[in-house]
Amino acid sequence: MPITIAHLKDQLAAYLDRWPDDAESIAPLLALTGPDAFDRATMTGHVTASAILVNPAGEVLLIHHKTIGRWFQPGGHLEPADDSLPAAALREAVEETGIEPAALTLADPTPIHIDVHPIPANPRKAEGAHWHYDIRYLFRCDDPELRPHLEEVHAAEWRPATDLDTPVIAARLTART
């Protein structure tokens, strides 16, 4: 069953219960009302899912994004077969890093962070500039061996949490330990 607006609203409510100061920054998500919110063809903006993977040493996994040319956490667009946002984040992490799904454990069903950010136009894909509403989940990784899928990413590396593109995530990770 595809991800629904009701599931998104439940995730947003849980997130705001934990981090009420983020209400203003995620306001665009609170206004979403239909299934087009999950469709990558919706150029006003659409929901994506990412995984913050943490190994036993406390490092986070970052991938080098082919299109944007920067280091990010694994993540991306939702697919019709995704039945939840955490499952979509897990699928993306496995696809991009080659880590076995059994080595990944969802640490918390509530997102650790939600980010609203612009995506530049991509003429190769005939996509205009748009917004990503990225729902980010924390996963523990018991087997940190990387086998990045080079058709998806340039590279994957375990790095300090301070290398994440959003300092608030590193602070939230520190607060959890």
Quote the DSSP letter at residue 21.
G
Residue 158 β-bridge partners = 61
Would 93 be classed as within a structural domain? yes
In this structure, what CATH number is given to the domain that contains residue 56? Answer: 3.90.79.10
Would 36 be classed as within a structural domain? no
The pLDDT assigned to 98 comes to 85
Cα dihedral: 85, 90, 134, 1 (round 10): -30
The model's pLDDT over 18-43, given as tens digits with 9 standing for 90+, comes to: 999 999 999 999 999 888 899 888 88
Would 39 be classed as within a structural domain? no
Q: How many domains does the chain contain in total?
A: 1
Strand runs labelled E in 29-152: 46-54, 60-65, 71-72, 75-77, 104-106, 113-119, 130-141
**Whether pLDDT at 1 is above 60:** yes
**Whether pLDDT at 76 is above 70:** yes
Burial class (CB in 10 A: 0-12, 13-18, 19+), 80: exposed
69-73, 103-107, 144-148, 163-167, range with the lowest pLDDT? 144-148
What is the share, in percent, of the chain residues with pLDDT greater than 90? 59
The pLDDT assigned to 106 comes to 98
**14: helix, strand or coil:** helix
The model's pLDDT over 83-103, given as tens digits with 9 standing for 90+, comes to: 999 999 999 999 888 899 999
Would 19 be classed as within a structural domain? yes
Verdict on whether the full-model pTM lies above 0.85: yes
The pLDDT assigned to 93 comes to 94
The pLDDT assigned to 108 comes to 96
Residue-number span of the structural domain to which 62 is assigned: 5-31+46-176
